A = this chain, B = another copy of it.
Amino acid sequence: MKAEIISVGTELLLGDTLNSDAQYLSKQICSLGIEMYHQSVVGDNAERLKEVITEAFSRSDIVITSGGLGPTEDDLTKETGCKYFNKKLVNDEKALDMLKSFFKKANKEMTENNYKQAYVPEGSVVLYNNNGTAPGIIIDENSKILIMLPGPPKELIPMFEEYVRPYLAAKQEYIFVSRIIRVSKIGESKTEYLLKDLIDSQTNPTIATYVKNIEVIVRITAKAKNDYEAHKLIDPVAKEVYKRLGNNAYGEGDTTVSEVVCKRLIKNNITVAVSESCTGGLLSTAFTDIPGISQIFVEGAVTYSNDAKMRRLGVKKETLYKYGAVSAETAAEMAEGIAKSAGTDIGISTTGIAGPGGGTPEKPVGLVYIGLYIKGKVITKKLGFNGNREKVRMCTVDAVFDALRRELDEENI
């Protein structure tokens, strides 16, 4: 089968929005073993949209649209899809109920134009939306499949996972199944070097490595009739990959080093408190992103000012004076200070220069110290990052979790 993507929205043509939906959908379609040769973007215009849909179906069996399912007058995707298939829009009771409860929960009044979102094409598959107001739609007739999804990624992605992936997978003779192994700290070339002979010799499954943010991804992909057959091909290769990467491989699939570390802490009931300067709350956020973290995450302190560092964490005035706020010494006192005042097993600190301002020749933008207080000892690490404020802050958080992960290995936790 062949698929194509049509991204609908004038904001895309104006460059106001980056088309991340297209990238996500491309990956999914590829993983389903469905071929894709074309993608297009069209504005909120019924006539042009109909032309593009018609053309897409002249080349492809599946057309996936994103966007244009909103309540406003220029949201025309559903209406246009109906025109293409000569279908009427009919009210869907369940969609209407969900819409009403959505507005009730949000304490917002439902205006007249919202009701149109409860109308769906006759005889279509309705993809109920738990993260927004627009239901998605699948029209599957005369071996043409039109899949209409809402534009916001927070709605589109869960909807694809829940409804569209299984719907399309059921139609495929072969699927592509991947296992993702996540590697921290060692570069792509090093990873490739460790796996080179495997990469060269493997055909099914194939092995590919690529860099994502500051980690390396190893993707093992098998072509098979079903998941079971695929994993029978993948598992022995994955085992060998793990053997070669050692503890540089930190996790699998759609995870992060923070999730892996937090789950280990929760499992072993090891309590944590963090004190942040340069990361400004981002480290606490990374911890509290993890459901169930409240069991072990006692407290976070965003101590931006020196005053707060002294008052909250008991950092010594002399330390700040002698070494400065951005120093191993301050990082150490921050980590120990937060652990002791919160009474936790582990205390973590970050202090650095995220930029854009504040850099000096001795302490340039990107210089960061992290502190780790664990089992009565303090470890500090000096780090240097390139890039803007956001990147420095994100890289610091990743580095903290990687350092913590390796310490937990040391301690056999």
Given A131-B391, A189-B113 in contact, is the A300-B312 Cβ separation under 8 Å?
no
A105 CB → nearest B CB, Å: 5
Task: Mark interface residues in A366-397 (1 if CB within 8 Å of B CB, else 0).
Answer: 10000000000000000111111111000000
Q: A74-B208, A366-B105 are in contact. Are A39 and B36 (CB under 8 A)?
A: no
**Inter-chain contact A37/B26, CB cutoff 8 Å:** no
Q: Which residues of B contact A111 (CB under 8 A)?
A: 187, 189-190, 193
Mark out the residues of chain A between 385 and 413 whose CB falls within 8 Å of any chain B CB in the assembled complex.
Answer: 385-391
Chain B positions within 8 Å of A319 at CB level: none
Give the distance in Å from the alpha carbon of A27 to the alpha carbon of B15 in the complex: 5
Given A188-B70, A300-B300, A300-B302: A280 in contact with B287 (beta carbons within 8 A)? yes
Verify B302–A308 contact, CB threshold 8 A: no
Q: How far is the CB of A44 from chain B (nearest CB, A)?
A: 8
Q: Which of A17-25, A138-146, A225-233 makes up part of the contact surface? A: A17-25
Q: Does A54 belong to the interface (CB within 8 Å)?
A: no
- With contact pairs A113-B192, A287-B280 given, residues A106 and B384 touching in the complex (Cβ less than 8 Å): yes
Q: Does A258 contact B (CB under 8 A)?
A: no
Asked whether B72 lies within 8 Å of A189 as measured between CB atoms, the reply is: yes
Interface residue stretch chosen among A237-245, A289-297, A328-336 = A289-297
B residues in contact with A208, CB < 8 Å: 10, 74
Provide the residues of chain B in CB contact with A102, threshold 8 Å. 386
A364 to B106 Cα, complex, angstroms: 12
In the complex, which residues of chain B have a beta carbon less than 8 angstroms from the beta carbon of A18?
A: 18-20, 23
Q: Name the segment of A83-91, A119-127, A166-174, A209-217 touching the other chain.
A: A209-217
Cβ-neighbour of A282 out of B20, B28, B70, B281 (below 8 A):
B281
Residue A284 lies at the interface, judged by CB distance under 8 Å to chain B = yes
A12 contacts B by Cβ under 8 Å: yes
Give CA–CA (A383, B19) in the complex, Å. 31
A97 at the interface (CB under 8 A from B): no
Q: How distant is A128 from chain B, measured CB to nearest CB, in Å?
A: 13
| Contact present for B73 and A291 (CB under 8 Å) | no
Measured CA separation A11–B189 after assembly (Å): 17
Chain A 179-222 near chain B by CB (<8 Å), digits 1 or 0: 00000000111101100000100000000111110000101000
Q: Is A248 an interface residue (CB 8 A)?
A: no
A36 / chain B contacts, CB cutoff of 8 Å: 13
Judged by a CB distance under 8 angstroms, whether A135 is at the interface is: no
B188 and A71: CB pair below 8 A? yes
**CB <8 Å contact, B193 and A113:** yes
Kindly state whether residue A267 has any CB partner on chain B within 8 Å.
no
Q: Complex: how many Å from CA A106 to CA B364?
A: 12
A297 → chain B closest CB, angstroms: 5
Is A154 on the interface with B (CB-CB < 8 A)? yes
Chain B positions within 8 Å of A33 at CB level? none
CA distance A9 to B26 in the complex (A): 12
Q: Which of A269-285 contact B (CB under 8 A)?
A: 274, 276, 279-285
Chain B's closest residue to A391 (CB) is B154
Is B13 within 8 A of A39, CB to CB? yes
CB atoms of B289 and A390 under 8 A apart: yes
Give the distance to chain B from A188, nearest Cβ to Cβ, in Å. 6
A255 part of interface (Cβ distance < 8 Å): no
A132 to B384, alpha carbons, bound, how many Å? 14
Residue in B30, B73, B302 whose beta carbon sits within 8 Å of that of A192 in the complex: B73
Which chain B positions have C-beta within 8 A of A46? Answer: none
The 5 nearest A-B residue pairs measured at CB: A280-B288, A281-B284, A300-B302, A15-B26, A15-B27
Question: With contacts A22-B41, A112-B193 known, what are 4 further pairs, Cβ within 8 A?
Answer: A13-B37, A74-B208, A152-B211, A300-B302
* Contacts A/B (CB < 8 Å), 6 sampled: A15-B27, A15-B29, A74-B208, A106-B384, A154-B390, A294-B305
